[in-house]
């Protein structure tokens, strides 16, 4: 028989699927700021945040909302090399596909963009842009200078967080949208809404305020870590439900199970 916790566990499989999007106060603010920035005469917009703060799903949502209103494209995976990247750009600009062995003349591509100025405004969203090398970023900057192509560049915030902005975009980025880890309030809402969306009311109600505080303490409000934590909590609950049901209570999540999950994920050590 399927455990009641199996469905709860599946809710927290890490995903950027729009069906899994949860509207929160902080994400709504970031979305509105990003949408407002797109409507400004900017060449480049930087979406900035540590891994797990929701950059990819925000770009996904923006693309889904605007794809019928604007000429907007989402490059969710960085190209493996410069040739592949410029083949993708060429297809966006010309609506044609180049033969695989054909090299793109970059100067001609820039001139093509300049000739489009005032006729088309193309928005290209580059996710995981920290994977692009300095030479590629410089060429992206040059394309943005044409003012026919606007780039939204999504970057992980790391110890080298200022390097790309300073070296490649300093005079080009006119808007920065930064995402942060969730507050306790937002993370609580996030967990509750994800469970309620799947009609898991009893399980949602079994997570008490002190549980949320402990989960937030371990995950520091990071959405990716939160998903891992909740998945592991329900995985442990599922084990007890199937094998030792006398050791689990269904009206609340015991503190020891949260600590077991934290131990398994390396948040705490014996």
Splitting the chain (270 residues) into consecutive groups of 10 residues, what average pLDDT does each group show? 86 80 87 90 86 91 93 92 91 89 89 90 92 86 90 79 54 77 96 94 95 97 96 95 87 94 91
Res 132: pLDDT: 85
Are 187 and 143 found together in one domain?
Answer: no
154 is a domain residue: yes
pTM: 0.87
Among 126, 157, 178, the domain boundary falls at: 178
270 is a domain residue: no
Are 174 and 191 found together in one domain?
Answer: no
Please state the domain count of the chain: 2
Res 91: pLDDT: 93
Are 168 and 63 found together in one domain?
Answer: yes
64 is a domain residue: yes
88 is a domain residue: yes
The range of the structural domain enclosing residue 200 comes to: 4-17+182-265
Q: Give dist(CA 252, CA 32) in Å, integer.
A: 37
Are 169 and 61 found together in one domain?
Answer: yes
Res 258: pLDDT: 96
């Amino acid at each position: 028989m399927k455990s009641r916790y199996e469905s709860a566990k599946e809710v927290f499989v890490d995903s950027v699927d729009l069906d899994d999007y949860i509207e929160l106060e902080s994400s709504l603010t970031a979305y509105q700021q990003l949408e407002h920035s797109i409507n400004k005469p900017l060449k480049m917009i930087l979406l900035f945040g540590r891994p797990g703060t929701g950059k990819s799903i925000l770009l996904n949502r923006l693309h889904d909302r605007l794809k019928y209103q604007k000429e907007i494209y989402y490059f969710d995976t960085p190209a493996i090399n410069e040739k592949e990247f410029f083949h993708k750009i060429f297809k966006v600009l010309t609506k044609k596909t180049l033969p695989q062995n054909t090299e793109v003349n970059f100067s001609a591509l820039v001139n093509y963009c300049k000739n489009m100025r005032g006729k088309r405004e193309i928005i290209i969203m580059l996710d995981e842009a920290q994977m692009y090398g300095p030479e590629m970023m410089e060429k992206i900057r040059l394309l943005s200078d044409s003012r026919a192509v606007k780039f939204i560049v999504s970057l992980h915030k790391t110890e080298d967080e200022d390097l790309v902005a300073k070296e490649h975009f300093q005079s080009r980025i006119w808007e920065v949208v930064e995402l942060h880890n969730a507050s306790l309030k937002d993370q609580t809402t996030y967990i509750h809404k994800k469970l309620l969306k799947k009609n898991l009311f009893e399980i949602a109600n079994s997570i008490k305020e002190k549980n949320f505080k402990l989960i937030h303490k371990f995950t520091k409000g990071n959405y990716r870590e939160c998903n891992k934590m909740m998945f592991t909590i329900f995985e442990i609950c599922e084990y007890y439900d199937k094998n030792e049901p006398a050791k689990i209570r269904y009206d609340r999540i015991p503190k020891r199970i949260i600590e077991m999950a934290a131990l398994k994920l390396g948040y705490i050590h014996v």
